[in-house]
Amino acid sequence: MKRYILIILILLSPLTVFLQADNLTSPLISIVPRPTQIVPGSGNFTFSAKTAFAVENQEQAVIARNFIDLFTRAAGITPALNVGSKEGQIRFVTDSSFKPEAYLLEITPQQILIKASDTKGFFYALQSIRQLLPAAIESEQPVQNIAWSVPAMTVQDEPRFGFRGLLLDPVRCFIPKENVLRIIDCMAMLKINKLHFHLTDDNGWRIEIKKYPRLTEVGAWRVDRTDVPFHSRRNPERGELTPIGGFYTQEEIREIVAYAADRQIEVIPEIDVPAHSNAALAAYPQFACPVVKDFIGVLPGLGGRNSEIIYCAGNDSVFTFLQDVFDEILELFPSRYIHVGGDEARKTNWEKCPLCQARIRKEGLKLKNRMYLSLLWQVLIVCMPILHRYAGYLTRIFTDSVFTQSFYTRCFQRDMVARR
């Protein structure tokens, strides 16, 4: 066998040498995602302490300043920033003929010209430059003996997709705020513009809600089963210590949302209803169906039968609670959409619960799906005045699931109508 491997290696070696040589002779221009068009030029533009940015307004100044901070930190130099001036080697020029988020980047040894119609376009041009710079630009400490150069070229770029998202799940494993901010930085560099932030589930409630402090006092913490794989972790028992977890204060959430906005990223929160709610129900067990007799704790794993414990659809106080929670969520997140989950809502307890059955009879609700997805929405729309009170926000709330896709489509159409 060894002999065959040796023969294959010998056969491949000229190819390997060729690829390396090719990489060495022609500089590899690597911008991710790949721009619409790149035309290489000749020479390099080099950043130094004498470099100046010329931007047209304060909005552009914010993104230029963030970019300059990279040099201050990693290169120990701070290029100048001239606002409302044309004096500078790196010039921002608004051109309304560009599509949203699109940009033109012209790099010559003497100057860099950026054209775009909106702040996002200028921001993305800077991210392309960031990727073209030596990787040391990402260093937290000044790095010596580096030429802070980018190759001359002309880049034309526009997105193929308006919604470019990353789903972040700090529920199964808590992610401290500092790490979330770092992830947002990396998203920005890759021109990802939506952070889908999964904040509640069976395994933890990660956002402070002022009106219901137990959601984080109790719901953010779970038993330690870290020695066992997630899928085979035993459910918690009453009285066990719950040292594993964490949550974001509202102040931290505001910081995350603002930090993301500075980087052209919209944060879309996910608050799961009516299933994936064991963390909330561990804190407020009165919102589960009264037929549930098991101990409800924050689940350290999949949960087995306990994952079937969901909000009671017949108890009016559940909807008051949800309305209060969404009041605070809508206040914290200016995003166009709010995700309310909607998946894997098993009907086990709703079928046995007299309150749920009474609701179904009273409202004349239809039970078609095994997972009661349509019931979920019927109940939400009937029972959550928040959906009426925030008429403008109706378009901002969506769930996953097949049923929801049609709802989502309708939301989108409503949006189109609203914008016209």
Measured in residues, the chain has a length of: 420
* Cα 322 from Cα 413, distance rounded (Å): 26
Nearer to Zn ion, 265 or 383 (CB): 383
With tokens 């022609």, the residue in question is: 26
Q: Which residues bind Zn ion (CB under 5 A)?
A: 289, 312, 314, 353, 355-356
Question: Do the bridges between strand 397-398 and strand 338-341 make them parallel or antiparallel, or are there none, so unpaired?
Answer: parallel
Instruction: Using alpha carbons, select from 128, 100, 151, 123 the residue that is nearest to residue 35.
Output: 128
CB distance 390 to 346 below 8 Å: no
Distance in Å, CB of 402 to Zn ion, minimum:
24
CB distance 157 to 108 below 8 Å: no
Nearer to Zn ion, 295 or 393 (CB): 295
Nearer to Zn ion, 218 or 289 (CB): 289
* Cα 304 from Cα 21, distance rounded (Å): 56
Cα separation of the two ends of the chain: 69
Instruction: Using alpha carbons, select from 243, 225, 242 the residue that is nearest to residue 234.
Output: 225
Beta bridge partners of 91: 54, 113
Distance in Å, CB of 161 to Zn ion, minimum:
41
**Residue numbers annotated as active site:** 201, 276, 344
* Cα 82 from Cα 32, distance rounded (Å): 29
Nearer to Zn ion, 188 or 356 (CB): 356
Instruction: Using alpha carbons, select from 132, 146, 147 the residue that is nearest to residue 41.
Output: 132
Residue type, 191: K
Token reading at 147: 């030429």
Q: What residues contact residue 287 under an 8 Å CB cut-off, 6+ apart?
A: 280, 281, 311, 312, 315, 317, 318, 321
